[in-house]
Amino acid sequence: MLNKVITIVVDGMRYDKGIEALGFIQHLVETNQAALYKVKSELPSLSRPLYEVLLTGTPASMNGITSNLAVRLSSQKSIFHLTQENGLRNATASYYWVSELYNRAPFNYIEDRHQHDESKPIQHGSFYWDDDYPDSHVIMDAEALRKKYDPHFLYIHPMGVDVKGENFGSESKEYREQILKVASLLAQLLPTWISEGYHILITSDHGMSETGNHGGITDGERDVPLFVISPKVEPGVYSEVVPQLAIAPLMCELLNIEPSNKMISYRLPGLKENSIV
């Protein structure tokens, strides 16, 4: 069994709209090939703090990334650090804030657009800074990195759903259409990734309110989906709400590496016994 993980974070995709529009992924759930969970995001329900939550498994009160204005390197060990320290390769196609958290801050638009340095926490990175950089480009940037560098951990972060949500609100045609576009893009690649034995996680950092906001405590802003496609996880729809802090240690388990000592101990419902191989 491969210990390789692809994590897709669809920025700003709330739970109810995500599960309605991700048609092929829901097909995998219905045919017992994937698991579906509801995740309750940490607070504040903002992007930069939740990138840190997803990748380090630590809350804002511990890591200090308390707002989108916290432009500095993380003080915590991320999945990028842990894979690099364990001799594994990693790569990402992400918004530039991810680079600022783990490689260098502030971001240099010329020097940091493409990064390839295996001594850094993020070893292979393709970063964008325009919020409307097409999701299709982000996902294919990531696929190019996967094919060229064969990373054990690939992190993919498209922004289009968040942009449509903030511009038009979560009840808009534009917001739903953007989720459908992401669903179509992923449907082209998921069969290949599955056939090649990857563990695949699809989730979001935060949701979106009807008025196009996030950062607060409402369910629309905090509830996001988590789809897991993995031979280590029993397929099905699970009712237990998963804390967002559990995603980083789950990725460690799927990668067969030890989590950091700051990550919580949590066993995902459906995770098979003796799953580390």
- Which DSSP string do the residues of 190-258 spell out, in sequence order? HHHHHHTT-EEEEE-S----TTS--SSSSHHHHEEEEEEE-TTB--EE--SPEEGGGHHHHHHHHHT-P
Question: For residue 129, how many other CB atoms are within 10 A of its CB?
Answer: 13
Q: What's the rounded Cα separation, in Å, for the pair 18 and 14?
A: 6
Structure tokens at 204: 């979001």
Domains, the chain, in order of start with CATH, read 5-255 (3.40.720.10)
| 90: Cβ contacts below 8 Å, ≥ 6 apart | 79, 80, 83, 84, 122, 123, 124, 151, 152, 153, 154, 155
Task: Quote the CA–CA distance of 39 and 178 in Å, as a whole number.
Answer: 21
Task: Retrieve residue 276's tokens.
Answer: 């580390």
Q: pTM of the entire structure? A: 0.97
Three-class secondary structure of residue 60 per DSSP: helix
Token code pair at residue 142: 């990531």
Please report the pLDDT score of residue 183 as a whole number. Answer: 98
Helix, strand, or coil (residue 81): helix
- What's the pLDDT score for residue 1? 56
Tens digit of each residue's pLDDT, the chain (277 residues): 579 999 999 999 999 999 999 999 999 999 999 999 999 999 999 999 999 999 999 999 999 999 999 999 999 999 999 999 999 999 999 999 999 999 999 999 999 999 999 999 999 999 999 999 999 999 999 999 999 999 999 999 999 999 999 999 999 999 999 999 999 999 999 999 999 999 999 999 999 999 999 999 999 999 999 999 999 999 999 999 999 999 999 999 999 999 999 999 999 999 997 644 3
Cβ-proximal residues to 149 (8 Å cutoff; 6+ apart), any chain:
89, 91, 123, 124
Residue 194 main-chain phi, psi, to 5 deg:
-65, -45
- From the list 106, 210, 196, the residue with the least C-alpha distance to 165 is 210
For residue 10, give the amino acid letter: V
